[in-house]
Amino acid sequence: MSWLMLTIAGLLEVVWAFAMKESQGFTRAIPSAITIVGMIASFALLSLSMKHLPLGTAYTVWTGIGAIGAFLVGILFLGDAASPPRILAALLITSGLVLMKLSSGG
């Protein structure tokens, strides 16, 4: 259950990061509200997952899911560059996440 909560927390990090971008500096009400609610939910689930997962594992996976998710959202919806070095960097982050999960024993 901790891994599921952590995964959802990471996905919510992507949601709030995208909403923050769309809020245009917190000048748009709905994206700003989504940002705040998404942050609270993401942090709450991260906190709950840390009851059973090591700090380093939980935090690394949470930020990794957020980083890769934001990277993909940027490419798919915001026109960010999908250059080979950026894709390689994303693959290296993903490899690190998989290794962290495998080494956690959970």
- Please tell me the predicted confidence (pLDDT) of residue 104: 72
Mean pLDDT over each residue of the chain, to the nearest integer: 94
Q: Classify each residue of 63-73 as buried b or exposed e, where b means 16 or more C-beta atoms within 10 Å of its C-beta.
A: ebbbbbbbbeb
The count of domains in the chain is 1
Closest by alpha carbon to 13, among 55, 47, 43? 43
- Please tell me the predicted confidence (pLDDT) of residue 103: 83
75, 82 in Cβ contact below 8 A?
yes
| Radius of gyration over every alpha carbon of the chain, rounded to an integer in angstroms | 15
User: What's the first-to-final CA gap in the chain, in angstroms?
Assistant: 10
Q: State which residues form the domain around 78.
A: 1-104
**Mean pLDDT value of segment 35-39:** 98
pLDDT-derived band at 98, boundaries 50, 70, 90:
confident
**Mean pLDDT value of segment 25-44:** 98
With 70 as the cut, is the pLDDT of residue 37 above it?
A: yes
C-alpha span between 52 and 69 (Å, rounded): 24
With 60 as the cut, is the pLDDT of residue 106 above it?
A: no
With 90 as the cut, is the pLDDT of residue 11 above it?
A: yes
**Mean pLDDT value of segment 56-80:** 94
